[in-house]
Amino acid sequence: MDITKLNTNAKNTWCTGCGNFAILNALKLVVKEIVSKGTPIENIVLVSGIGCHAKIVDYINLNSFYSLHGRVVPVAQGIKIANPSLKVIGFSGDGDSYGEGLEHLLFAAKRNIDITMIIHNNRVYGLTTGQFTPTSPVGYKGRSTPYGNKEKPFNPIELMIAAGATFVARTFSHGIDLLKRIMLEAIMHKGFSIVDVLQVCVTFFNMYEYYDKRVYIMEENNLDDFDIAMKKAREWDYNSDTKIPLGIFYKKEEPTFEESFISYESKKFVDRELKVKEILKKYSI
Amino acid sequence: MLDYSILIGGRAGDGIDKASLIIAHLLSSLGYKVFVSRDYPSLIRGGHTFSIIRISDEKIASYREKIDILIALNFETLEKHRFLLKEGCFYIYDSDNFKDNGSFCGTGVPLKTILKEENAPEFVKNSCLIGSFCKAAGIEWEILEKTLKKSITKEIEINLKVAKRGYDISREFFKIEKISQISLPVLTGNEALGLGFIKGGLDVYIGYPMTPSSALLHFLASVGPESSIKVIHPENEIAVILMALGFAYAGKKSAVGTSGGGFCLMNEGLSLAGMAEIPVVIVLGQRTGPSTGLPTYTGQTELFYAIHSGHGEFTRFVVSPGDCEQAYYLGAISVDIAWKYQIPSIILTDKSIAENVYSFNLDEVDQINFSQPIVWNGDEPFKRYKYTENGISPMCFVPKKEAIIKVNSYEHDEYGITTENPVITKSMQEKRVLIKEKFLLKEIENRFECVKVYGNKNSETAILCWGSNMPVCVELGKKYNLKVIQVVVLHPFPVNQFRKALEGVKRLIDIENNATGQLGNLIKSYGFSINDKILKYDGRPFSVDEIENKLKVL
């Protein structure tokens, strides 16, 4: 597959040095690999929210649903349940899915529905010019918190493991090999998978140097152990100046939500008029 | 016209609803058309709740204030409703629960004693009262036995036993004769709408519980597997509509249901459907608002809201059924129109039609014809938002070989790629709101009876109504020889059909369950006018008598 065919004519408006480029480039390589493994390209569907991250669907020539801020997850779930043979990949930001749409994210994890969420976590609102987000550190000075953010950030890794996600990983937009490997594994995982990408916003919150000094790649063993996963997840709380582990925290096989509807598919044709008459019999004596 | 009304009341949790449904079935099996109006508070146990069962040999779907038989499970019911009894009428009460010293004739049924003697659980007591009712109404025991066997799934033997005790203890007061008409199924507006969705080819129903639409969710959840309809109850109404749009993107016909509060949450999704041109059917069950209001009572306050909901301008289809036959018809048709035009269809119900019980005659439903879907033929590269003469871009769904299917909440070009170009923006706005709406209006005025006319078509006085008020207005129209005009399609407003309906009318009386006369105001914006209004906004539906009295003094 020639990945240049994945380009579109849309003009790219991300800032030079934006971490989103790494995610886009990794995605193209991942798509190539998925297709080479036998998934027809038309079976891949991307869903995005609103924010800088979301422009990714304009920049790649694949099926896509450019949805609303915070609403990637319910759209992706609808598509997946409609047709479980599709590979549904959601792209979302930290404001998008950890803020506006957090409830949806928690519930999708709870259902263990087989979709993948790639979170462009730059820990700042880029498109609306630099406000703090649910994962910004305490003291972050944005335009809505000029004297410093007073709230402690969420730890999305911990949240997602607790909510029932069966694949939880963190990676970094600096270093495409890891990014690609983790994205691919997440997409191939059967169940709800989420990848928190420390994606750097060069304009409003440039963390390249900060992350470069602290990140390390975890050893991945006992991935299905909840307690070990939680312990690893708590190694960095998105606030303290500690080492930042990257890689897969948790991975487990569990029944998925969309499977529960498969019996419906088996009887494809139902004569609706006849069915109505049949049901009506229950309503007469 | 044969015309009987039975009121059964008690505390919430007494099973009034089920009991009234059994009585409705019983009387339906005697050949009558039945209607049950339900009144219950928003709590699980304790408050006063009652149902009025009205039957006739003619089609009726409204209630009268006077009643023939009162069945009281508690003293409060007797106190609240006995003044409604017609002179010399009959009531049945639980004489173990309270002693009655009133002057009306009645039969006391010692429920507690009977239950104890039969060693029967509390929940079968209604069967005992129904037994007494049947005797009082001169209904043969065998008919009751058959009805109970069909309606009650658990502990039927003990139910029959206490019913027989109730039957034997009562006395015949008058006779509801069997009439020679077919016995029709008895169902709620929600159920008829659900059946319409089945007929309309719905694939998915998604809902978050909210009165008065919850029962539609329950109904479809129960018949979903056999009807091939997936039913999902997600975390909130925002997820409900966004999931529905996800389904539609993948080619599955989806509907959602809610009430005003939930519809508020759905509004961003509604706008998305408008912008991205994704079909969806929305059931908006009105209740008394604003805000939480009276959750289990009725109203018609969201006509303007339905028409104007969502930000931005886009085409939509808004209808409101007046009875079960229309609910069934409009359920199916709304799916068809939503998918042909790739727009949202909104079905405005209210607590009355959603939860009241009607005799339903499938043979009286207007002919339902479905459109041919406009699909991409593969001859040229797929453009999700291709400009066409009628504004409808041929669709295809994932996974589709050789087609990249992009939908977008931003303004977009024909391929679905984001744009801020003013020329494209203007063309897309015209496609979504001007062109589509023009063709939709033309189609619906040719294809459907968007405005229905009943009663004396030559009358110079006409009643104007919409939604669940249709049956009560039609009944009065018949009685007073008036014309009755029901607007079934509220948007796009069927202006030509409405003008035709008004021919010869000199005086138009607007009847609505709201404080401002929303339909009256809507027709004004099309250059029509009303002469009088009869409005009710206390959460309760109109009774026949109430409108009748108001018409007399107008």
Query: Min CA distance, B145 vs chain A (Å)?
Result: 11
- pLDDT value at residue B103: 52
- pLDDT value at residue B102: 56
- pLDDT value at residue A134: 97
C-alpha span between A144 and A131 (Å, rounded) = 6
C-alpha span between B206 and B230 (Å, rounded) = 8
The residue with tokens 């779930």 is A77
Helices then strands, each counted (H, E), chain A: 9, 8
Query: Min CA distance, B48 vs chain A (Å)?
Result: 27
Tell me the sheet residues that pair with A65: A47, B407
- Which of B22, B516, B26, B64 is closest to B300 using CA atoms? B516
C-alpha span between A132 and A149 (Å, rounded) = 7
3-state SS assignment for residue A214:
helix
Average pLDDT over residues B173-198: 96
- Which of A225, A220, A104, A93 is closest to A169 using CA atoms? A220
The tens digit of pLDDT for each residue in B146-174 reads 999 999 988 999 999 999 999 999 989 88
CA A269 vs CA A82, B192, B229, B483: distances in Å: 16, 22, 11, 45
Given A78, A279, A285, which is nearest B245 (Cβ)?
A78
DSSP letter for A19, please: T
Cβ of B405 within 8 Å of Cβ of A63? The answer is: yes
- pLDDT value at residue A268: 62
Number of Cβ atoms within 10 Å of the Cβ of A212: 12
pLDDT band at B104 (very low <50, low <70, confident <90, very high): low
Average pLDDT over residues B387-392: 98
DSSP letter for B344, please: E
pTM: 0.97
Expressed in angstroms, the distance from the first to the final Cα of chain A is 64
Question: What are the structure tokens assigned to B110, written together?
Answer: 């010692």
Cβ of A83 within 8 Å of Cβ of B236? The answer is: no
Question: How open is the CA angle B378-B379-B385, to the nearest 5 degrees?
Answer: 70
Expressed in angstroms, the distance from the first to the final Cα of chain B is 26
The tens digit of pLDDT for each residue in B57-66 reads 999 999 999 9
Cβ of A276 within 8 Å of Cβ of B405? The answer is: no
Given B28, B226, B409, which is nearest A67 (Cβ)?
B409
The tens digit of pLDDT for each residue in B464-516 reads 999 999 999 999 999 999 999 999 999 999 999 999 999 999 999 999 999 99
A89 touches chain B (CB under 8 A): no
A275 vs B contacts (CB less than 8 Å): 198, 226-227
B26 vs A contacts (CB less than 8 Å): 285
The tens digit of pLDDT for each residue in A173-227 reads 999 999 999 999 999 999 999 999 999 999 999 999 999 999 999 999 999 999 9
Query: Min CA distance, B32 vs chain A (Å)?
Result: 12
Q: How many residues does chain A have?
A: 285
Report whether the peptide linkage leading into residue B373 is cis, meaning its omega lies within 30 degrees of zero.
Answer: no
C-alpha span between B431 and B388 (Å, rounded) = 8
CB-based contact B531:B509 (threshold 8 Å): yes
The H or E element that residue A90 is part of is: strand A87-93
C-alpha span between A50 and B485 (Å, rounded) = 46
DSSP letter for A256, please: -
A193-198 vs A116-121, strand pairing mode? parallel
From start to end of A178-263, where are the E strands? 193-198, 215-217, 244-251
The tens digit of pLDDT for each residue in B191-236 reads 999 999 999 999 999 999 999 999 999 999 999 999 999 999 999 9
Q: Check pLDDT > 90 for residue B517.
A: yes
**Positions of chain A with pLDDT lower than 70, given as ranges:** 263-268
Cβ of B249 within 8 Å of Cβ of A75? The answer is: yes
Given A74, A80, A279, which is nearest B223 (Cβ)?
A279
Average pLDDT of chain B is 95
Mention every residue, 6+ apart, whose C-beta is less than 8 A from residue A282: none
B108 touches chain A (CB under 8 A): no
Instruction: Cite the DSSP H helix spans in B102-188.
Output: 111-117, 125-136, 141-151, 156-169
- pLDDT value at residue A244: 98
Q: Check pLDDT > 60 for residue B306.
A: yes
Tell me the sheet residues that pair with B173: none
- pLDDT value at residue A255: 97
3-state SS assignment for residue B195:
helix
Residues 124-183 of B with CB under 8 A from A: 146-147, 150-151, 183
The tens digit of pLDDT for each residue in B425-447 reads 999 999 999 999 999 999 999 99
Q: Sketch out chain A's domains with CATH numbers.
A: 3-258 (3.40.50.970)
Burial class (CB within 10 angstroms; exposed 0-12, middle 13-18, buried 19+) of B200: buried
3-state helix, strand, coil in chain B (%, to 5): 40, 20, 40
